[in-house]
A and B are shown apart, each in its own frame.
Chain A
Amino acid sequence: MALINILKISTVYSRVSLTFRFNVYIPKDLNDALRALKVEGEGLLPIAGGTDLLVLYRQGLVKFNKLLDLWPLRNSLSYVRFEGGYVKIGALTTVSELLDSRIYMDKRFLGFKDACSGFASPFIRSIATVGGNVGAAHPLSDIAILLLAYDANVKLASLDGERLVPLREFFIDKRKTLRKPDELIVELSFKEPPTNSSTSLIKLDRRVGHSMGYVIVSTYLELIDDIVKDVRIVFDSMGKPYPERAYKTEEYLRGKTLSEDVVKEASESILPNEMRRITDYRSSAEYRVELSKVLLKRALFKTKERILGGA
């Protein structure tokens, strides 16, 4: 396949506050891409699926005049692998490919079915990528929320080498992450969970299909004889403008029997104490908290059922 290289990306000097035209650098391989990032710095913005970036650009909310097209790297960065006790997902794996991998056929990974099949719309899934979803650092990022439930790590690469950052530390603000301008997200990975575990993801909005979600929750549970050996609970937001874990609620649940009463206490008493919600045009903070409580209950029991029934 012929690759196009638009080298010598020159700078446009202009007093216009927004440029709607831009140049695209098409790299030969990962190294080439990393080299371009090193040379161009912040002026070169990587674009994965583009489903988020191109919409922001269209609205004039993000300014750039040079893009680094990551699509040519898909031959090396699109995969779902089990390796050395880890599940590894290439950053440029699309949501459709994640579904096609049928990873969810194993009950430990059923949350992938929830997250992927409820993700935007089928044609968006064809181009939206796992790395893009994580890199966008937006609260309403279904895949990132699920990966947090698996306590995944983000692998970043630059010309200087690679580093792993826990996803739970990766977001620092809305649309801000620990990724440095010369780095690329290349892989998401997490420790292969034990057999008596599963996940689920639930979102609810005023429309069933093709929705953002007033609230999104994902839960990971490891049960031994109905007792919570391990649990992770992730919400689209706990107070900060990006997905986060409900640590205190997790703490409360750990070691307890997953009974109606315990789940009720966790979702109705513990969770609201550690969660801060915002009011915006879509929904009030009050409703978001109420909904978070209900959806947490449902997600926990759904996950439990999955562990027991494998459905």
Chain B
Amino acid sequence: MYMSSVPEYIKIVEEVFDKFKGREFLYIGKDVRRWDAVEKIKGKSLYTADFLKFYKNAVFVHSVRTKYAHALIKSIDVSEASKYPGVLKVITAKDIPGINDVGYVIPDQPLIADRKVRYIGDIVALIVAEDQMIAREAESLIHVEYEPLEVITDPLQVVDLMTLKEKPHTLIHDERGSDVLVHYKVRRGDMEKALREADVKVEGVYKTPFQEHAYLEPEAAIAIPEAEGGVTVISSTQCPFDVRKAVAKVLGVPLNRVRIVVPAVGGGFGGKEDVANEVAAKAALAAVLTGRPAVSIHTREESIIGHSKRHPMIAWYRHAAKKDGTLLAVEANIVMDTGSYASLGPFVPWRATVHATGPYKVGAARIDTKAVYTNNVYAGAFRGFGNPQVIFAVERQMDLLAEELGMDPVELRLKNILRVGDETVHGQKLTEEHGVGLEEALLKAVEASNWSSKRMEYRKAVGPLRKGIGVAIFYHGNSIGVEGADYSSVTLIINRDGSISFRTGLTEFGQGSTWGLVLIAAEILGVPPSYFKVENPDTSATPDAGPTVASRATVMGGAATVIAAHKLRKRLNEVASHILGCDPEDIVIKAPEVYCGSDPNRRTVWQDVVEQSFWLGIPLQEFGYYRAPRAVWDEETGQGAPYITYTFGAIVAEVTVDMETGLTKVDRIYTAYDIGRVINKVGAELNAEGGAIQALGYGLMEELIHDKDGRVMNPNLSTYYVPTIKDAPEIIPIWVEAHYRKGPLGAKGFGEPSFNAVATAIANAVSHAIGLPVYELPLTPERIYMMLKKAGKI
């Protein structure tokens, strides 16, 4: 029974979910080839920089970056550089026609620094030249006078971990009066009582590093000047509508003068959100100021020093439990380093806070999270968005607790995990409708991995090579929760020849979620996926679908697709009913065949239905819009219902550690995920593998290192190590489908969850192998070796 306030679109999603319950699917959950497979495999897909071959008179935009990570700009003289042969223009802050800001959430980040610089990637001028080399040569003719300030690279110089009070220091954002960006809290239950009643307590301080996205395609944008001061920008971004907003703001023109087109994108992982705004704005400025097509492409080194990273975390945790393993309380002080600018810094720590106790029933909780500015490279969105950091702390704590209680880590978890009917730490009651498959996931991962016997057997090993097995579980709120207006949209157009145009502002950057949306539309309409053409996101053609972030494309875009497809299907059924004479509900579409279910001899073809619709004046275009049920959050207590639903997962990892060198090899990873209905099976498997390998890097080798002056020590791919094919372990994917009724056909999100707990499962396995607790990622050979040495194990 629906209340009148429930919008029609939510009713449709639920109606379609119920209608398809127990039905056999043709495309959903099946092995279906991607639409762009052949184009990409032939090297014909064009990525942003590839368009340069069509613009022979393009000018290059080179970013002149600061010499100091923290300094006041006393003066800047570009006159000499401006006269260098081949230089067309040197742009400084004063040349910006609109507003000099590309801050993603809050306006704290100038496109071109004017008053001060706050990190080593800050731009002080843009050189627009005939080619890149001329621009780089002219760079040495730009004279900037700096007054260097104290450089802060350690977030604990800004706040104290135990009191979370701001310390006296040279302010980075003096205009704000404080370098604490945000403070989030969770308050639940009676902490004093819980601590009094506890039989055991464990505590620890946990640290995680800056992680670089290292998408293979560096940032790029090509801008073409248009009429009325406008511009078209080809941009490598996850969020074209955000880029449009940023470019319009910098140029000082209305949104409708700026068009953003997104071609093939070579990876994003959260990194191509805010920096894409900066890069597009640079190209757009140059195009508008010179009247020529302008290209801004980051080198790999620029990409690494100049775009957001995963937030490092330092967290103090204390867990309290009863002798039988019942979790009584969790306390945590969490400090996240947001670097020089806020970027998505206001949101990432919020997600970390929401997930700070893990997927457990917790009687009492006190969580305080502060994100602070430093002079490091700024931190922003990266697959997992704050959750992998707290998972590391929580799941290490759970292992410590198990050890303290003499319990098996799996047993301890099973005792405390969230199931249907339980309340999350925020007081959100989980129902059947949410889909809660955590227990099933954990049991399946444990069974598949032969956990119990390996856990016993591996500990007995002697000699330099030791094996270990570890587990980590998690939950992950779907979509953006209370971070913003949570909506999405698609447009489906059935063309006169029966082919279908699929339009959405959600972008495809490798993750494959748009393909999932096509499968949904194909299933509901009854046409094969090959009928569809997915159009590139284009702010002048595709609808604003919100950002492609937060594992929301399938859930939110999928729901919008369900709505559009459902409405179209209804109309098609009516037209077919008109042609065939049977009831609209009786119409079966298996394009190209269309017939009456009760009498398959009464039949026609898809093209005919489409043609008849045209003559009958029935529109075959539909716009699907979906807005998520509103999230609830009390700022003071952290109570409410922060997310619409949760994805769950359990990871078991097996490792071999060389005790003489500290080198760890991951042998096997079992990934069991409850992602609700598996829409795009291939895409889900690819994410499970890819997320695991990326997280393996996070667990064992990846860390961006700043020196004390805020310079990045490893700004390239031979010093910043990401896993190669030699590191890829055996990965065993396991799927659990606890359907989410308000999601498209029961689906939940998966982009980020595939990363979340893998590094921690590896860390727990390493800890098992070496017989010592670990507190810091990545677990480099040196870190492990030094722990062993300190413990007298070598």
List residues of chain B with CB within 8 A of the CB of A19.
137
**By CB atoms of chain B within 10 A, which of A15, A206, A214, A286 has the most?**
A206
- A side interface size, CB within 8 A: 31
**Interchain CB contact under 8 A, A16 and B138:** yes
**B723 contacts the other chain (Cβ, under 8 Å)?**
yes
Which residues 714-744 of B have a CB within 8 angstroms of A? 714, 718-719, 721, 723-727
> Is there contact, CB below 8 Å, between A206 and B661?
no
Q: Inside 8 A of B718's CB, which chain A residues have their CB?
A: 210, 212
The residue from B138, B141, B727, B789 contacting A290, defined by CB atoms under 8 A apart: B789
Asked whether any CB of chain A lies closer than 8 Å to the CB of B140, the reply is yes
Asked if B241 is at the interface (CB within 8 A of a chain A CB), the reply is no
B157 lies within 8 A of chain A by Cβ: no
B658 to chain A, nearest CB (A): 9
Given A208-B727, A281-B705, A290-B785, is A21 in contact with B721 using a C-beta cutoff of 8 Å? no
A183-233 interface with B by 8 A CB criterion: 204-212, 214
Q: A18-B136, A208-B665 are in contact. Are A214 and B782 (CB under 8 A)?
A: yes
Asked if B204 is an interface residue, CB under 8 A from chain A, the answer is no
Q: How many chain B residues touch the partner (CB < 8 A)?
A: 37
Q: Are B661 and A16 in contact (CB under 8 A)?
A: no
Q: A16-B140, A209-B725, A294-B660 are in contact. Are A283 and B782 (CB under 8 A)?
A: yes
Question: In the complex the two chains form, what is the Cα distance from A210 to B133 in whole Å?
Answer: 29
Residue of A nearest to B301 (CB): A59
Partner of B133, one of A15, A20, A287: A20
Is A269's CB within 8 Å of the partner chain B? Answer: no
Please report the C-alpha to C-alpha distance between residue A21 and residue B130 in the assembled complex, in whole angstroms.
13
Nearest neighbor of B789 in chain A, beta-carbon distance:
A290
Whether B727 lies near A207 (C-beta < 8 A) is yes
- Tell whether B663 is near chain A: CB-to-CB under 8 Å: yes
CB nearest to A283 among chain B residues: B782
A207 lies within 8 A of B721 (CB): yes
Complex: A60 Cα to B780 Cα, angstroms: 31
Asked whether any CB of chain B lies closer than 8 Å to the CB of A17, the reply is: yes
Shortest distance between the CB of A132 and any CB in chain B (Å): 16
CB-contact partner of A206 in B134, B141, B721, under 8 A:
B721
- Select which of B133, B141, B723 is within 8 A of A207 by beta carbon: B723
Query: Is B84 interfacial (CB 8 A cutoff)?
Result: yes
CB distance from A134 to the nearest CB of B (A): 20
Min C-beta distance of B524 to chain A, whole Å = 45
Contact partner, B727, options A209, A286, A291, A295, Cβ 8 Å: A209
Residues of A within 8 A of B663 (CB): 204, 206
Q: In the complex the two chains form, what is the Cα distance from A284 to B662 in whole Å? A: 14
Chain A residues whose CB sits within 8 angstroms of the CB of B665 once the complex forms: 208
User: What is the 8 Å Cβ interface bit string for chain A, positions 260-293, against chain B (1 contact, 0 not)?
Assistant: 0000000000000000000001111011001100
Instruction: Determine the distance from Cα of A58 to Cα of B138 in the docked complex, in whole angstroms.
Output: 15
CB proximity to A under 8 Å, residues B125-167? 132-134, 136-141
Beta-carbon contact of A18 and B137 below 8 Å: yes
Contacting residues of chain A (145-203) with chain B, CB-CB under 8 angstroms? none
Nearest-Cβ distance from residue A178 to partner chain B, whole angstroms = 28
Is there contact, CB below 8 Å, between A20 and B781?
no
**How far is the CB of A194 from the nearest CB of chain B, in Å?**
31
Contact of B140 among A17, A59, A211 (CB under 8 A): A17
A19 to B84 CA separation, bound complex (whole angstroms): 12
For B141, the chain A residues whose CB sits under 8 A away are: 15-16
Whether B782 lies near A281 (C-beta < 8 A) is no
Q: Provide the residues of chain A in CB contact with B785, threshold 8 Å.
A: 287, 290-291
Highest count of chain A CB atoms <10 Å: which of B140, B725, B727: B140
Closest chain A CB from B722 CB (angstroms): 8
Which chain A residues border B336 with CB–CB below 8 Å? none
Given the known A-B contacts A209-B724, A291-B661, A294-B660, are A284 and B140 also in contact in the complex, defined by CB atoms under 8 Å?
Answer: no
Q: Contacts A17-B140, A290-B789 known; A284 to B133 CB distance under 8 Å?
A: no
Q: Do A294 and B661 contact each other (CB < 8 Å), given the known contacts A207-B701, A207-B723?
A: yes
Contacts of B701 in A (CB 8 A): 206-207
In the complex, A212 Cα to B726 Cα: how many Å? 15
B140→A204 contact, CB < 8 A: no
When each residue 63-96 of chain A gets 1 if its CB lies under 8 Å from chain B and 0 otherwise, what string results? Answer: 0000000000000000000000000000000000
In Å, the complex CA distance between A17 and B80 comes to 13
Q: Provide the bound-state CA to CA distance between A10 and B727, in Å.
A: 50
A204 surroundings in chain B (CB, below 8 A): 661, 663, 781
**Contact present for B724 and A210 (CB under 8 Å):** yes
What is the minimal beta-carbon distance from B6 to any residue of chain A, in angstroms?
53
Chain A residue contacts of B713, Cβ below 8 A? 281
Which residue on B lies nearest to A15, using beta carbons?
A: B141
With contacts A15-B141, A287-B786, A291-B661 taken as known, whether A20 is within 8 angstroms of B136 at the C-beta atoms is yes
Chain A residues lying within 8 Å of B695, measured Cβ to Cβ, are: none
Q: Is B8 an interface residue (CB 8 A)?
A: no
B residues less than 8 Å from A290 (CB atoms) = 785, 789
Find chain B residues with CB under 8 A from A205 CB.
Answer: 721, 781
Residue of B132, B299, B661, B713 ringed by the most chain A CB atoms within 10 A: B661
Residue among A58, A286, A290 with max Cβ neighbours from chain B (10 Å): A290
Complex Cα distance, B701 from A205, in Å, reads 9
Cβ-closest chain B residue relative to A290: B785
Q: Which of A1-54 contact B (CB under 8 A)?
A: 14-21
Determine whether the beta carbon of B140 is less than 8 Å from that of A18: yes
Taking the closest CB of chain B, its distance from the CB of A69, in whole angstroms, is 19
Chain B residues contacting A286 (CB-CB under 8 Å) are: 786
Asked if B726 and A16 sit within 8 Å, CB to CB, the answer is no
Chain A residue nearest to B711 (CB atoms) is A281
Q: How far is the CA of A208 from the CA of B84 in the complex (A)?
A: 46
Question: Is the Cβ of A206 less than 8 Å from the Cβ of B780?
Answer: yes
Whole-angstrom CA separation of A291 from B783 in the bound complex: 12
Which residues of B sit under 8 angstroms from A291, Cβ to Cβ? 661, 781, 785
- A20 and B299 alpha carbons, distance in the complex (Å): 15
CA distance A182 to B338 in the complex (A): 52
Q: Is B117 an interface residue (CB 8 A)?
A: no
5 cross-chain CB contacts under 8 A: A16-B137, A206-B721, A210-B724, A214-B782, A286-B786
The 3 closest A-B pairs by CB, nearest first: A209-B726, A20-B133, A281-B713
Known: A15-B141, A20-B137. 19 other contacts (CB 8 A): A16-B84, A20-B133, A206-B780, A206-B781, A207-B724, A208-B665, A208-B727, A209-B724, A209-B727, A210-B724, A211-B721, A212-B719, A214-B781, A281-B705, A281-B714, A283-B782, A287-B782, A294-B660, A295-B661
